[in-house]
Amino acid sequence: MAKISKSELIRLQKKLKTDAAIGEEYSITRQAVHQLRKKYGIESMIAKNDERNKQIVAMYDKGMSGTAIAKKFGLSISQTYRVINDAGRIAAKKKKKRK
């Protein structure tokens, strides 16, 4: 595994934002960067993106598809639905459709 100090990882995270981008910089996998963050107790920058998540949920509530939202934010479809599901929106919409 790459020799990246805690302070270096924090600096890289602010600059490059994602584990994948940091991994590319050091020619290591995204998972290796993730393991380093966990080892040092550093939270992911993406996990702090509450504003983006609120926008995703609002768009979904207005009827935009998960696929369209994923493209707009550059996320995978599964990640987009995970954000929506965490907000409890999918379950609520399914109940409304059944009535």
Q: CA separation (Å) from 28 to 9, 39, 84?
A: 13, 16, 31
- Residue 54 sits in the same domain as residue 92: yes
Please report, for the domain that includes residue 58, its CATH number: 1.10.10
What is the rounded average pLDDT of the residues 59-82? 93
The 10s digit of each residue's pLDDT in 26-70 is: 899 999 999 999 999 998 876 778 888 999 999 999 999 999 999
- Residue 40 sits in the same domain as residue 16: yes
- Residue 33 sits in the same domain as residue 65: no
Secondary structure letter of residue 99 according to DSSP: -
Secondary structure letter of residue 18 according to DSSP: S
Confidence of residue 93 (pLDDT cuts 50, 70, 90): low
24/59 Cα distance (integer angstroms):
32
Residues 6 or more apart in contact with residue 97 via CB below 8 angstroms:
none
23/89 Cα distance (integer angstroms):
33
Q: Are 52 and 79 in contact (CB under 8 A)?
A: no
Supply the range of the domain harboring residue 87: 49-98
Residue 96 is encoded by which pair of tokens?
């409304």
Domain count, the chain: 2
Task: Note if the pTM is more than 0.85.
Answer: no
Rg (CA), the chain: 17
Q: Say yes or no to pLDDT of 96 above 90.
A: no
- Residue 34 sits in the same domain as residue 53: no
